[in-house]
Structure 1
Amino acid sequence: MQIHRRFAALPGNARGASLALGNFDGVHIGHRAVIAAAGEAARRLGVPLGVLTFEPHPREVLAPERAPARLTTFARKVRLMEELGVEQLIALPFDHRLMSQAPEAFAKEILVDLLSIRAAAAGHDFCFGHRRSGDMAQLSTLGRQMGFAVQSVHGVELDGQLASSTLIRKLLLAGNLADANALLGANFCTGGIVVHGDARGRELGYPTANIQAVGRKTLLPANGIYAVRAGVQWPDGLLWYDGVCSLGTRPTFDGNDRRLEVNILDGRYDLYGLRMKVEFVARLRGEEYFADIDALIQQMARDCANARAALCAAPPSLGTGKGRIIAG
């Protein structure tokens, strides 16, 4: 997949595609339906499949203090889209010039003059142009006038829940990882840099990697204990390991700052300074206070056993890149 973030010299193969339009935070099952619709048009027309997304998220420009935490980093969005067969990813810079552009100007200057698109697909509630004044009905009209096909894609429901980035954020914050992952169509994933912590886990016999988030604000799910897959970016490549994760304030030790800590189930490694991805596979339990350390250690042993069982039963991961998986 080719990624385009600069447009002064856009290559010819980035033009003439069938494009899925949207922000695609999470690349959830509703987004996948839009990309699939664009893919069908691409095959019919014999042109590349592309995605036009906005970077940063429009709300991060319009109201940064109220912007939602991201479900996916840009890098993970890229990996997920690549697995869906996207050939061209257009990351359009969302700035004050773009947000002041009239819908007609967006269609003419971006979709036609810059990208020469053959077809476009978007969710039925997609809006574009100044103050979100353009809708799918207007895009269809502009497409007929300017020579590209337009398909409006209805939302996708799963067990009576309409897939949306907003709903998935709420589910994750409520601790409902199973429903969130089902609507995402992949396991929720975050990550960061491994930094030094209190070494408390090592003292208890369960050493943990403390993860410090990097980049733009990304979401963390509800506090608790999770079965995870941990992707370590070693100098010679990415390796994935089975693990168990503690997310919370460590009430047994009177902690007050929220930490993401991962115990790799088999093996001990020097991970400081390395990047680690954390894929949340199953929620095992909520965060608890333990009156004595022995009770905590016994529960940690049960957590590890439960994590192994959950990971063994879990399907293969999506969006994990090309790294090898080393099971626990």
Structure 2
Amino acid sequence: MKIYNSIDSFTNESKTIVTLGTFDGVHLGHKKILEKVIFSSKKMNAESIVLTFFPHPRTVLQSVEEMKQLNTIDEKITLMNQMGIDNLVIHPFDKDFSRLTAEEFVRNVLVEQFNIKKIIIGHDHRFGRNRTADINDLIAFGEEYNFEVEQISAEEINEAAISSTKIRNALNEGNIDLANQYLGYEYMISGKVARGKQLGRTIGFPTANIHIEESYKLIPKEGVYIAKVQVFEKTYFGMLNIGTNPTTDTSKNQKIEVYILDFDSDIYDKPITIYFQKRLRDERKFETIDDLKNQLNSDKESTISFFRNNPLH
């Protein structure tokens, strides 16, 4: 897959099949659209293009604070590549771009830059300045500029049941099962292992503190989770805690740390990826350290039992 950091940087002599959107999460609903793009590109001897945007248009147009997203740019690239997309264009979304009229967008971007043969979009797609143009306008432009338009119905991509917003809500509520079901894969966070206070080591549960560089990445609800942990290109069982460690720490700063079962290696500053499996419980403050250790041992047994019934794959 070829990656372009702006529309202007895209160069290709071939005809293209295009879809566009934020595709946050690249969830099962999105995959219905992407599969159609890939199928059409092969059938019509053209190349597939996904045009997506960063930052999220809503943060630019509505002046809201940074919107938490399901995927980092790197994760989105990986997921699109796994799908088999030929070209991914990640365009910087700003107010100047938002002021393009519908016809300017069609003529300058789709026709002149992308050499479009066909566009495939969802049922409610709107585009152009103030999002005033709809599917009927796009069909008219297609007739004028000689490209096909295919609209995917709400029923076909099951949008009533799956949306990025619903997945964000599920993660904010700690409902990992539902989020993973909608995504079609295990929700993940990635970062580097940072040095912490090493308090876990003193109670027999040494943890890796995870620093996530992308501030826009959505972190699920605070609590204790069963997780798969990928480090050194190997996968391990893990118990993840998102929270403030109220029993041993008074700073009230949120931390993300994972206890990796049967693991004893120096991984400071190494990349680490967490795949969420199941939420075990809320974080809570214990009266004594022994009470905390007893709970952690219980969590460990639950984790081992979970993976015994759900082997790594």
Task: Determine if the TM-score, normalized by the shorter chain, exceeds 0.5.
Answer: yes
Deviations 1:128-176 (A, max 9, x none): 2111222233222222221222222234699996211111111111111
| Corresponding position of 1:86 | 85
Equivalent residue runs for 1:44-193 within 5 Å: 44-155=43-154, 162-193=161-192
- Residues 152-301 of structure 1 aligned to structure 2 (within 5 Å): 152-155=151-154, 162-232=161-231, 234=232, 238-255=233-250, 256-301=252-297
2:19 aligned with 1:24: no
Query: Post-superposition shift, 1:302?
Result: 2.1
Distance (Å, rounded) in 1 between the aligned partners of 2:204 and 2:68: 34
Q: Give the CA deviation at 1:316.
A: 6.8
Q: What is aligned with 1:320?
A: none
Structure 2 CA distance for partners of 1:231 and 1:47, relative to 1, 3 Å? same
State the aligned residue count: 312
Deviation at 1:216, TM superposition (A): 4.0
- Give TM-score, length-normalised by structure 2: 0.91
Task: Give the drift of 1:37.
Answer: 1.9
Answer yes or no: is the 8 Å Cα contact 2:29–2:157 preserved in 1.
no
Question: What CA distance in whole angstroms lies between the structure 1 residues aligned with 2:145 and 2:205?
Answer: 62
Distance in 1 (alpha carbons) for counterparts of 2:194 and 2:80: 30
Q: 5+ residue gaps in structure 1?
A: 318-328
Greater mean alpha carbon deviation, residues 175-184 or residues 265-274: 265-274
Distance 2:104 2:42 in 1: 28
Q: Secondary structure at the match of 2:116?
A: coil
Q: Structure 1 vs Structure 2: percent identity of aligned residues?
A: 33
Any idea what SS the aligned residue of 1:12 has?
coil
* Contact residue 33 and residue 156 of structure 1 kept, 8 A: no
Letter in structure 2 aligned against 1:117:
I
* 1:82-136, Cα deviation, whole Å (9 max, x unpaired): 1111121111221222111001111111011000121111221222211122223
Offset, 1:12: 2.2
TM-score (norm: length of structure 1): 0.87
Q: Is the 8 A contact 2:126 2:133 kept in 1?
A: yes
- Specify whether residues 132 and 250 from structure 1 end up closer, same or farther in structure 2 by C-alpha distance, changes over 3 A only: same
- RMSD, matched Cα: 2.3
| Matching residue's letter, 1:262 | V
93-102 or 140-149: bigger deviation = 140-149
In structure 2, distance between residues paired with 1:130 and 1:216: 29
